[in-house]
Amino acid sequence: MPELSVVADYGDLCGESPLWDAKHSRLYWTDCVGLKFYCCDWIPKTHRVVKEGLEIYGCALNQSGGFVITNTSGIWLWDGEGSPRLVAAQADGSKLQMNDCVADPQGRLLAGSVFYNPSEKYPLGKLICVDTDGTARIIDEGFHLSNGLGFSPDCHTLYFTDSVARTIFAYDYDVAAGVGRNRRIFKKVAATSGIPDGLTVDAEGFVWSAEWYGSCVVRYDPDGKIERRIDTPAKQTSSLAFGGPELTDMFITSAGKSDPMPEMPPGYDPDAGYFGGKLFHINLGIRGKPEFVCNIRPKS
C-alpha cells in the first residue's frame, strides 16, 4: 500500500478546492478561511502562495485564462493576479453565497449555495448553474450545506453533496441543457462516520468523497458501496483531486481545528489529536479523469 505524504504545510485553517491544471502540470488549492490561494508546480514539486486576502471557496479554470471562483459574495472571474470581476451575485432572486463548484462539459459552472448556521434558522441552499454568458439560474434547492460535485465519465450523472444531510445525491444530467433531473440518494453516510465533504470521480466511475471528522477519503463503486477507505492523519479531511502526468496522483486537502458542528460522530473529541491544515499526496495507481474547463464570457 503506497504511503500518504505531505506536499505542503501552510497550516491551512480550511484547505479546500484542489484543482489540477494539466496544461501547466500544476495544482491549485485554497485556504478559504485563511484567505490564501496556492499553487504547486508538480515536476519540481515547488509550491507558493499566489494570492492573499481573496476569499475563494471553489475554483475552476476558465478557457480565456484565469479562473472562475465562488465565495460568499457570488461568482467571479479572476485572472489569477488582480482583483476579481463579479459575474453573478444572485440567481432568480436568491443570494449567491457559494461553496464548492465544478465546470460542466459545455463550459458552464455548477455550484452550491450555503446559508447553514446551526445556532439559528437559516434558508436552504440552492444548486446553481452559470451559463457561458454569465447568467445564473437555479437547478435545484433544499440543501443545508452544499459541497462536493463531480460527473460520471460519460457525463450522464452529476453527483452533489449535502454535508449536513450526510448525503451524496445523484442526478441524471442533461449536458445540452445544463439541467439535472431525477434527484436520488447515491449514498447516505452513517452518523457514526465523518460527514461527506469534497468529491471527485475517477476514470472508472467510482466516486471519491473526503470525510470531514472522518480522517479519511472513501471510494464508492457506482452502486454506492464502499470499495476502499484511505486514512489520513487529518481529523478534518476536506477535499481531493486527481492530477499528475498520468492523473494517478491524488491530492487531499485538510483543515485546522474549527468550531464543532452538531453532525460530529458519536464520541468524537474535537480537542484530541491532529487537526490538519496540510496538503497530502498518494498515488494508488488509480486514474482520475480530467476536469472540464469553464467558458464563462459575460455579456457585459
Q: Which DSSP string corresponds to 180-198?
A: EEEEEEEEE--TTS-EEEE
Q: Alpha-carbon distance 128 to 98, whole Å? A: 9
> What span, in angstroms and rounded, lies between the C-alpha atoms of 84 and 75?
9
Rounded to whole angstroms, the Cα distance separating 14 from 166 reads: 19
Indicate the SS3 state at residue 22: helix
- Please say whether the dihedral angle defined by the alpha carbons of residues 106, 209, 19 and 237, taken in this order, is positive or negative: positive
Q: Which residues of 77-115 are buried (b: 16+ CB within 10 A; e: fewer)?
A: bbebeeebeebbeebeebebbbbbbbbbeebbbbbbbbb
Least Cα distance to 284 among 225, 206, 213 occurs for: 206
Annotation says 197 is catalytic: yes
Using CA atoms, how far residue 288 sits from 115, 202, 208, 218, in Å, is 31, 4, 10, 14
What region does 267 belong to: left with phi over 0, alpha with psi -120 to 50, or beta? left
Residue tagged active-site, from 12, 197, 202, 249: 197
Name 156's Cβ contacts closer than 8 Å, sequence gap at least 6.
172, 173, 175
237-242-246 Cα angle (round to 5) = 150
Q: Give me the active site residues, please.
A: 197
